[in-house]
Structure 1
Amino acid sequence: MSKLYPHIDESLRRFILAQPMFFVATAPTHDGRINLSPKGYRDTFAVLDDHTVAYLDLFGSGVETIAHLRENGRITVMFCSFTRNSKILRLQGTGRVVRPDDAEFTTLRAHFGTDHPGVRAVIVVDCERIADSCGFSVPYLELVDERPVLDKHHARKSDEDFARRIAGDNSASIDALPALESDHPLPSAL
């Protein structure tokens, strides 16, 4: 019913890239809230090599993943098939935040598709455990389309709006762990 993989092989790569969404889970080291975030836009996830994946981190309502990664680096990315072929795949490992002003950001950015407004960072995950499970109880769902709301929302925002987010609700997690710094680049700098 479940299997451990030594690396992300071609079959897993195809499965990952076929999923319209994925989930990211992180947690603080000690007391605090566990975070689980759904992520969309197929072109925001990339398999970099047999043990490394990355995704575009877009401005959102919180900044828990960045705060938790800055504190301890622990992360799990989960893909779940909603088609007739049931499968759940978890990539567990160590994540890091690559800011838009980091030297490797441009190289990483080339792995993703469409220019999405509101890019905050690239999250890179070094996969230490790659495992699937059956997903037999997951329902069948049919994808209607990607939801364009976040891109449209970010496209209307100014640099001042993003600067307020960086200084405000994106400066710390809900448990007051540090997240974005005041010198974090604005999306227009990309």
Structure 2
Amino acid sequence: MAQHHPSISDRHAAFIAAQPVFFVATATDQGRINLSPKGLDGTFRILAPNRVAWLNLTGSGNETAAHLARNDRITIMFCAFSGQPLILRLYGRARALHRREADWAEFAPLFPDYPAKRQIVVVEVDSVITSCGFGVPLMDFAGHRPTLPDWADAKGADGIRQYWRDKNLVSFDGLPTGLLDGEDEV
């Protein structure tokens, strides 16, 4: 049975910290709903009982940033693939923080210095809902994949910026992501 909570409790925080993967969902009023798995060690932080942030790494799309620029609603889901069954969802309002913004210096030190870091998503949590998770399969965690950090290391800073220009300036639905706004995008 689902339980509603006004904020992230210590028990919720411990559960979140133990999960190697989380899922992020965003949408605008038209186009695709985006649901993305997120991982890699150290990419999620609980800042306060009603505030979290996560490091958005470079990927094949940049849907979250494009969606949040138009509709700031977000859902983040954690589920137990081992141990006691549980699903925990954080509902709230978010913004994608870009490197050029003054707040970047406040949030960036909270995360590992992954070479693929693209944005930091800051979420004001409205509510927390937990549910049983009885239907979630049991799975063993083998480890984080090194593929993304290795790929970004090989590309280097200039290669990553070129990748952003080629692949991350608009969403799959053609919406601008704001990634390099105000910078030379050529």
Q: TM-score, normalised by structure 1?
A: 0.91
- 2:3 corresponds to which residue? 3
Quote how far apart the aligned CAs of 1:45 are: 0.3
Conserved in 1, the CA contact under 8 Å of 2:45 and 2:54? yes
Aligned pairs, how many?
183
With over 3 angstroms needed to count, the CA separation of the structure-2 counterparts of 1:98 and 1:182, relative to structure 1, is closer
- List per-residue Cα deviations over 1:70-114 (Å, max 9, x = no partner): 1111111000111130000011111101111222212212222x3
For residues 168 and 152 of structure 1, the distance between their equivalents in structure 2, rounded to whole angstroms, comes to 20
For residues 183 and 85 of structure 1, the distance between their equivalents in structure 2, rounded to whole angstroms, comes to 48
- List per-residue Cα deviations over 1:33-83 (Å, max 9, x = no partner): 111100011301000001011001111000000000011111110001111
- 2:87 corresponds to which residue? 88
For residues 181 and 94 of structure 2, the distance between their equivalents in structure 1, rounded to whole angstroms, comes to 22
* SS in structure 1 at match of 2:127: strand
Matching residue's letter, 2:19: Q
- 1:157 corresponds to which residue? 155
Q: Which runs of no fewer than 5 residues in structure 1 stay unpaired?
A: 186-190
With over 3 angstroms needed to count, the CA separation of the structure-2 counterparts of 1:121 and 1:111, relative to structure 1, is same
- 2:26 corresponds to which residue? 26
Moved segments of 4+, more than 6 Å: none
Quote how far apart the aligned CAs of 1:182 are: 4.6
For residues 26 and 71 of structure 1, the distance between their equivalents in structure 2, rounded to whole angstroms, comes to 10
- 1:68 corresponds to which residue? 67
Aligned counterparts, 1:1-190, within 5 A: 1-29=1-29, 31-112=30-111, 114-179=112-177, 180-183=179-182
Q: TM-score, normalised by structure 2?
A: 0.93
Q: Which runs of no fewer than 5 residues in structure 2 stay unpaired?
A: none
* SS in structure 1 at match of 2:75: strand
Conserved in 2, the CA contact under 8 Å of 1:166 and 1:184? no
* SS in structure 2 at match of 1:100: coil
- List per-residue Cα deviations over 1:108-132 (Å, max 9, x = no partner): 12222x3211111100011112101
* SS in structure 2 at match of 1:102: coil
For residues 125 and 155 of structure 1, the distance between their equivalents in structure 2, rounded to whole angstroms, comes to 28
Conserved in 2, the CA contact under 8 Å of 1:166 and 1:182? no
Conserved in 2, the CA contact under 8 Å of 1:21 and 1:42? no
For residues 113 and 139 of structure 2, the distance between their equivalents in structure 1, rounded to whole angstroms, comes to 28
For residues 141 and 32 of structure 1, the distance between their equivalents in structure 2, rounded to whole angstroms, comes to 33
Conserved in 1, the CA contact under 8 Å of 2:115 and 2:157? no
